[in-house]
Chains A and B, each alone.
Chain A
């Protein structure tokens, strides 16, 4: 059942036109209509509407409909990296290629973009070992909220975006060979 749904997801995600139709960039719920905030709460008037803030950032079609990595890279947002003096801010530049992807293109995990947001301890050693290939990652567990799925699908761009992770084509395959974008 889960495998079927996984295939269905890929089927849809592999078709760019369909992805674009599903999430017009202008779709941000009003707080009073989001099913979470109580419209009767007078405090609501003091809260910022997501659409007001997020429509100014580089657009995406999924998640918050914002390309957060781009927003940070272009300096459109400047989120603080610490609030206590003396906290060591650790960043790392280095990709890990994760090859156990069956028929799918391989996964490129970029440390740079991640450590700009996250500390090493958010992933090491509880989610991932600090050794390429040492962690038994697989897609079903990711979809179940483990490994990459701890963040992707919850806070970071969702798991429907297969090709943002599965971005490294094996030799003899690729856009020219498979006819995919």
Chain B
């Protein structure tokens, strides 16, 4: 807030009040977003992994978008832009579909490196993470 030369009267008090309220709202927003410490746009895939005895999969958008444009995965490879919308089986990946289109031992390291993908903490739910989630009503 710019300093107000007029010391008396409401013109001075009003902006102060607003700053206070702004701070309050800010704290509120920060509290709401505090639990999500993950890097923005990280994806947890756990539709089947844990049920099959493997840790959840973590996919990082930031890492992949440095190397590939969105259209590679979301158009050429058919990943839908809705986490959990694709049914990804490990056999598909080994057959060169989904992640396996690249993680085939030539374009990128192969599917034998289980723990690089299955790297999540137990109990994570499938979904998009980061500090500014907007998915679904009331989740932003």
Contacts and interface: CB of A to CB of B under 8 A. Distances in A.
Interface of A: 2, 8-9, 11-12, 15, 18, 22, 28-29, 33-38, 41-44, 46-48, 50, 53-54, 62-66, 68, 77, 79-84, 87, 89, 116-119, 121-122, 143-145, 149-155, 158-160
A116 B140 CA distance: 27
Contact of B76 (A82, A150, A153): A82
A54 B85 CA distance: 28
Most buried by B among A15, A36, A145, A160: A36
A153 B140 CA distance: 8
A158 B133 CA distance: 8
A145 B134 contact: yes
B4 interface: no
Contacts of A54: 62
Nearest to A151: B81
Interface in B8-40: 22-23, 25-26, 28-30, 35-40
Contacts of B40: 63-65, 155, 158
A13 B100 CA distance: 41
Question: Which of B61, B113, B138, B140 is packed against the most chain A CB atoms within 10 Å?
Answer: B140
Interface string B57-92: 010111101111111101111000100000000000
7 contacts: A29-B39, A33-B37, A38-B119, A53-B63, A63-B130, A154-B41, A158-B132
A62 B62 CA distance: 13
B69 A154 contact: no
B8 to A, nearest CB: 23
Contacts of B72: 79-83
